[in-house]
Amino acid sequence: MMTTNSPIDPQQAPASSSQAPAEVLPETRMARRRRLQQEATARVAGQGDASAVTPEAHSENFVPVTALPTAQDDASSASQLSAATIASAALLPVIENESGVGSKPLKRERRSLWDTCGTILSPGPTPNRPPLPSTGKAGRNLPAALGVAAVLVGIVLATLMFTKVLFTGLVIIAVCGALWELAGAFARKGLRLPLAPLWLGTIGVVVCAWSVGAEAMFGAYLATAGAAFLWCFFDHCEAEAGTDWELASSSDIHDGAHDTLRRSRTSNAVAAVFAATYLPFLSGFAVLLLAQDHGVGKVLMLIALPVANDTGGWLAGITFGKHPMAPSVSPKKSWEGFAGSMIATILTATGCIWALNGPIWAGPILGACIVVVSTLGDLGESLIKRDVGLKDMGTLLPGHGGLMDRLDSILVAAPVVYLFCLLALC
């Protein structure tokens, strides 16, 4: 058995015919990965010479025993590990091209689903684009806002009046678009939402709510949240396959970069569960309302109440607003606007309850509850936008922002209206 620690140069001829050639053994896949990682680390750190890597050293089937990698006792620095991971990915196709004639090219490292599908499943950070110029004291571009609102109301009414199934499809499209906007916003903080299981779970939640009921919808939500949670961990494990991050044992010295990588798994998983709860789960209550008796009227009430809350608060705020409600979160919200929201929403709720042949006394109670939860939902989204540094979640709806900017109040109001209808209107 050979005891030397330096690899045998295949270009050198044996000193004599009696000298036995170097013993060779098949190179395992893990050994190949570790060798490539070590070579890339040496190149990045300036400790290796690229010219020393010969094509024969990368033969797929055989490698000298003395060239097999040995276990490293000391952990490399975080910067070298990160750079080596990138360098090894860039080095792989070069080694494939330099392999001997007739040899099978090395198999490329498997890429994650986000990298394969590009920006569809992994949107980049949302840029902070300036909104349309505002008109007067409105604080927004009023002609654009009114035009977009008219189009949205027309689409909702068309789906509800033609067939209810179309409205469920509209809910799926709106929620999937809102998830995409939320993923772009979270990307500004380095968080990645697993859009594939979230989109699939959105379809499952809506279909279960429409065809089966609340119990099936809740089960679909749990499955969606669980799948998204596990997806985040599996995606990180796949990205670390064959690298020093995966091979490091509990006895190795972990630095700050290693701990940050481990924490990012949990952060992504928690963000995924939050997204599954905020969008697919809450939107399912709107579909549950549609499946009830007088479902179309109840869904119209669900949409009308947050609209009355926003419109009443906006009109009272730009006219009388002087006392900010939460200046550090949403500077434009005032207590005068909150009072305007309360009056407008109570009047709208009373009219909707009367139209649905419900008790009139229930209108003020429902209206007050909607004002509270809608205001909290709006402030919650404002906190998210302020934390990620965005003015609006998107630019799809001129004068309004993105889909998330329109759905925030409706989503949090949906379970309240659903429970209220079960108790007072059924």
Per-residue pLDDT of the chain (426 residues; tens, 9 = 90+): 444 444 444 444 444 444 544 444 455 555 666 676 677 666 655 544 444 444 444 444 444 444 444 444 444 444 444 444 444 444 444 444 444 444 444 444 455 444 555 567 888 888 888 777 777 665 667 788 888 889 999 999 999 988 899 999 999 999 999 999 999 999 998 888 999 999 999 999 999 999 999 999 999 999 999 999 999 888 765 555 445 444 445 555 555 555 555 667 788 899 999 999 999 999 999 999 999 989 999 999 999 999 999 889 888 888 887 888 877 777 777 888 889 999 999 999 999 999 998 898 889 999 999 999 998 888 888 888 888 888 888 878 887 788 888 888 899 999 999 999 988 876
End-to-end Cα distance, the chain = 85
Residue-level pLDDT at 256: 53
Distance CA 204, CA 216 (A): 9
Q: Do 175 and 202 contact (CB within 8 A), yes or no?
A: yes
- Taking phi over 0 as left and psi of -120 to 50 as alpha, with beta for the rest, 333 belongs to beta
Dihedral of CA 323/329/332/337: which sign? negative
DSSP per position, 259-306: HHHHHHHHHHHHHHHHHHIIIIIHHHHHHHHHHSTTHHHHHHHHHHHH
Q: Which helix (H) or strand (E) holds 145?
A: helix 142-162
Q: Are the C-beta atoms of 349 and 364 separated by less than 8 Å?
A: yes
- Whole-angstrom Cα distance, residue 244 to residue 109? 15
C-alpha distances in Å from residue 309, one per residue of 48, 296, 302, 347, 416 = 67, 20, 11, 10, 15
